[in-house]
């Protein structure tokens, strides 16, 4: 009994009943138009009368009108929002956005017509049946009702029928609740089939997910390159300043303040620039932008990058880099940044040589530094920096290689300029 009561009067049943009433309310304009259309045939006096045949005819005219208006783009988002809130169907079963393609539009029209058609019937029964059922149930207790047309219809010449009105009225109310619950279950079962994603919707969703993953990977590369380089450069500068202080104090009790000041200035500039880049990336994460333009620095910020990496970086630039397309300039900056990150991590006191040359439609980047006593091995976490360099070059249609050769660590990248977007 408790399960039956929950099915008829529980929260889910009440929500579905509200959904049906909403459909009945939405059907009212179509029913009125149908009444006006049927009026000339039924006679002007019967246009807004209570004739059941006129109402059913208006109902039949209103349904095709509802199906036609369901072809408008906003119909499916509106229907999905109502069904998700009131039908008790998991949200992932519904499609997002306007219907695309004939099949999806036809299914949306079918759902809208079904919702309004069934909702109109249930709404009409919910308005008309309860007063009648209560009057029938009250027949044994009201002389006025027994003296009315209802009592005459019921048959007062057989008093036992009067007392049958009480259980019959209760059964009418229970039947209305059962019909409403069954209609709600019908709509809930049809919701995922008629409002679910079509192949076009699934393709669009897959494309959106792929774009979101691409942006997330891009953000991860930006954070890795920017923060990783900054930490490596700051560590190098701080270590160099500490060694200068220790050496100077052991030698004569003083310190090479100019070198220490230069190292601290480089640390300050590097951290300030990196905090700005980090704020830019995190701002995009908060705002949900997905256009891929992260406002990352380009080769115009190359001098600051080299200065922050330390004094043992020899930079040679050939060609006018100011006219490079923004994607090429941005990715080239990150490639140089990652190369310097690896160099300051492993080169120790050796000089790092950076050569950038714009030759025709190709930008060449070459970096090298002497290897330490042992070739550096991959970090335990797998290290994504050099892999990111190759990915950046490949995205622009170029190539990048890095590795030991003849006692040197070399990084070489070639980026096409003419076709970059």
State the pLDDT at residue 151. Answer: 61
Beta bridge partners, 390, equal none
Between CA 212 and CA 290 the distance in angstroms is: 7
Q: Which CATH class is domain 205-416?
A: alpha beta
**Which H or E run contains 320?**
none
CA distances in angstroms from 12 to 17, 110, 171, 184, 250, listed in the order given: 9, 23, 22, 9, 81
Output the pLDDT for position 303: 84
* Dist. CA 92–CA 395, nearest whole Å: 34
Report pLDDT for 186. Answer: 93
Task: Kindly state the helix (H) or strand (E) to which residue 259 belongs, with its residue range.
Answer: helix 257-287
pLDDT (mean) for 244-251: 66
Q: What is the pLDDT of residue 382?
A: 39
Q: What is the mean pLDDT of residues 150-158?
A: 58
Whole-model pTM?
0.53
pLDDT for 5 beyond 60 = yes
pLDDT digits (tens, 9 = 90+) for 113-131: 999 999 999 999 999 899 9
Which of 176-185, 320-329, 353-362, 385-394 shows the lowest per-residue confidence on average (mean pLDDT)?
Answer: 385-394
Is the separation of the CB atoms in 401 and 384 below 8 Å? no
CA distance 253 to 50: 110
* Residue range 32-61: mean pLDDT, rounded: 76
The stretch 250-269 carries a mean pLDDT of: 68
| Three-state helix/strand/coil letters over 97-116 | CCCCHHHHHHHHHHHHHHHH
Residue 99 has pLDDT above 80, yes or no: yes
pLDDT band at residue 19 under the 50/70/90 scheme: very high
> Which residues, in sequence order, are CB contacts of 109 under 8 Å at separation 6+?
67, 68, 70, 71, 75
The reported pLDDT for the residue numbered 24 is 94
| pLDDT tier, 397 (very low <50, low <70, confident <90, very high otherwise) | confident
Beta-strand runs (E) in 167-309: none
pLDDT at 346 over 50: yes
- Report the mean per-residue pLDDT for the chain: 79
Lowest mean pLDDT among 38-42, 349-353, 396-400: 38-42
pLDDT, average across residues 221-235 = 69
**184-222 pLDDT per residue, tens:** 999 999 998 899 887 777 777 777 778 777 767 776 776
Decide if pLDDT at 68 tops 90.
Answer: yes
**Confidence check: pLDDT of 418 > 50:** yes
Residue ranges per structural domain of the chain: 2-197, 205-416
pLDDT-derived band at 280 (thresholds 50, 70, 90) equals low
Mean pLDDT for 137-143 is 79
* 310-314, 383-387, 408-412, range with greatest mean pLDDT: 408-412
Q: What is the pLDDT of residue 113?
A: 95
What integer pLDDT is reported at residue 365 of this predicted model? Answer: 94
* pLDDT per residue as tens digits for the range 162-176: 777 788 889 999 999
Q: What would the DSSP string read from start to end of 21-69?
A: HHHHHHHHHHHHHHHHHHHHHH-GGGTTS--HHHHHHHHHHHHHHHHHH
**pLDDT over 70 (residue 398):** yes
Q: How confident is the model at residue 135 (pLDDT cuts 50, 70, 90)?
A: confident
Give the model's pLDDT for residue 379: 44
In this prediction, residue 56 carries a pLDDT of 87
For residues 268-290, give the mean pLDDT: 63
Instruction: Give percent of the chain above pLDDT 90.
Output: 26
Please compute Rg for the chain using Cα positions: 39
The pLDDT of residue 291 is 46
Per the structure block, which two tokens stand in for 369?
Answer: 């530094």
């Amino acid at each position: 009994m408790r399960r039956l009561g929950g099915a008829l009067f529980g929260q889910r049943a009440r929500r579905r009943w509200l959904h049906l009433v909403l459909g009945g309310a939405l059907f009212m304009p179509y029913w009125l138009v149908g009444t006006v259309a049927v009026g000339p045939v039924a006679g002007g006096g019967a246009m807004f009368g209570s004739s059941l045949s006129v109402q059913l005819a208006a109902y039949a005219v209103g349904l095709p009108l509802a199906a036609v208006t369901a072809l408008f783009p906003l119909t499916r988002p509106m229907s999905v929002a109502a069904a998700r809130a009131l039908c008790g169907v998991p949200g992932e079963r519904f499609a997002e956005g306007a219907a695309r393609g004939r099949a999806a539009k036809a299914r949306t029209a079918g759902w809208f017509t079904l919702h309004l058609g069934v909702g109109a019937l249930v709404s009409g029964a919910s308005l008309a049946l309860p007063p009648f059922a209560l009057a029938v149930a009250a027949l044994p207790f009201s002389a006025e009702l027994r003296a009315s047309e209802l009592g005459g219809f019921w048959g007062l010449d057989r008093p036992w029928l009067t007392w049958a009105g009480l259980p019959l009225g209760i059964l009418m109310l229970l039947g209305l609740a059962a019909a409403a619950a069954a209609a709600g279950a019908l709509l809930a079962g049809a919701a995922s089939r008629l409002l679910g994603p079509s192949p076009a919707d699934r393709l669009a969703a897959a494309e959106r997910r792929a774009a979101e993953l691409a942006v997330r990977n891009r953000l991860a590369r930006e954070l890795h390159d920017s923060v990783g380089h900054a930490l490596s450069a700051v560590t190098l500068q701080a270590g160099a300043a500490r060694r200068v202080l220790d050496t100077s104090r052991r030698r004569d009790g003083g310190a090479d303040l100019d070198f220490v000041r230069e190292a601290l200035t480089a640390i300050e500039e590097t951290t300030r620039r990196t905090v700005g880049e980090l704020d830019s990336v995190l701002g995009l994460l908060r705002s949900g932008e997905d256009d891929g333009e992260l406002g990352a620095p380009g080769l115009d910020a190359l001098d600051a990058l080299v200065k922050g990496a330390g004094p043992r970086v020899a930079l040679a630039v050939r060609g006018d880099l100011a006219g490079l397309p923004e994607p090429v300039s941005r990715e080239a900056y990150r490639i140089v940044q990652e190369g310097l990150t690896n160099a300051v991590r492993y080169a120790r006191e050796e000089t790092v040589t950076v050569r950038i040359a714009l030759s025709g439609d190709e930008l060449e980047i070459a970096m090298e530094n002497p290897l330490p006593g042992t070739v550096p091995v991959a970090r335990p976490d797998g290290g994504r920096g050099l892999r990111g360099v190759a990915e950046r070059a490949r995205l622009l249609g170029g190539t990048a290689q890095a590795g030991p050769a003849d006692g040197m660590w070399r990084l070489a990248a070639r980026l096409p300029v003419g076709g970059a977007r």
